[in-house]
Structure 1
Amino acid sequence: YNGPSIIIAYAHCIAHGINMAESLSHDEMAVRSGAWVLYRFNPDRLKEGKNPLQLDSKKPDIPYSEYAYTETRFRSLLGKDPDRARMLIEAGQKDADHRWFMYSHLADMDYSSMAD
């Protein structure tokens, strides 16, 4: 794309409690759970009648909790306040499901009538 670009990246921090030797597998779990969606947006595709939004992620195939409980911040809350932890994990799952639903529908839109 011949214009300004932005990269929004997922980066864990020390509070996540991730062993840096396992950071790539943790990143993969973030994507597989739907907590982080990989996509590209290129406005130039409109000229070709193509959708400018391309999803690079597949549909989530692991529960959000499987990803979240690999992080210290979620595991420690589970020990201190299990009810609150479960409520937040359920909210995280709903958010991940909603995000996937929204992005997948946007990526499926037909732009063929927009071609130059």
Structure 2
Amino acid sequence: MLAMAYGHVYVARIAMGANDQQTLRAILEAEAYDGPSLIIAYSHCIAHGIDMRKGLEQQKLAVQTGYWPLYRYNPALLAEGKNPLLMDSKEPTLPLERYIYNEARYRMLLQSNEERAGQLLQLAQKDVQESWSRYRQMETES
């Protein structure tokens, strides 16, 4: 089960631009957790080749496409008989290309080898869908 994967570590994945309330909740829970905590935060940077003024919008797109699902894994919930994994993202609502082609690192391949870029996009979209399904399955396990 997921508890064995993470042990007794609080783990959260956040993106402030997508959900600032979830970000705050995760930080507060991590601080309150009696044990080690790990917060994995989406951090846009200039190397992504985006207009940095639109960084928070890009974070939101990453979540909406399913590329960056938001969750909290709180082992303290095990003591209450609850599943420690809480998905804070909604199902992906946008195709992955809406997110990735905003970034120069992905557009470069599209410009240099459109066919290969299309193949990789299909594989990446499939990976997003499979990952999302795994997270949802883990969330419903008790």
TM, length-normalised to structure 1: 0.90
1:55 corresponds to: 87
Structure in which a larger fraction of residues adopt strand: 2
Q: Which runs of 4+ in 1 moved over 3 A?
A: none
Query: 2:45 touches 2:52 (CA, 8 Å); kept in 1?
Result: no
* Count of aligned positions: 110
2:115 corresponds to: 83
State whether structure 2 residue 2 is matched by structure 1 residue 4.
no
- SS for the counterpart of 2:72 is strand
- C-alpha separation in 2, matches of 1:50 and 1:99: 22
Point out which structure has higher relative CO (alpha carbons under 8 A, 6+ apart): 1
- C-alpha separation in 2, matches of 1:84 and 1:73: 14
Task: After TM superposition, give the deviation of residue 15 of structure 1 in Å.
Answer: 2.7
Structure 2: runs of 5 or more not aligned: 1-32
Task: After TM superposition, give the deviation of residue 14 of structure 1 in Å.
Answer: 2.3
- C-alpha separation in 2, matches of 1:97 and 1:5: 27
The one of 99, 124, 137 aligned to 1:67: 99
- C-alpha separation in 2, matches of 1:3 and 1:59: 30
Task: After TM superposition, give the deviation of residue 79 of structure 1 in Å.
Answer: 1.0
Deviations 1:54-87 (A, max 9, x none): 0011000000111111111111211110011111
- SS for the counterpart of 1:34 is coil
TM, length-normalised to structure 2: 0.74
Structure showing greater Rg: 1
Structure 1: runs of 5 or more not aligned: 111-116
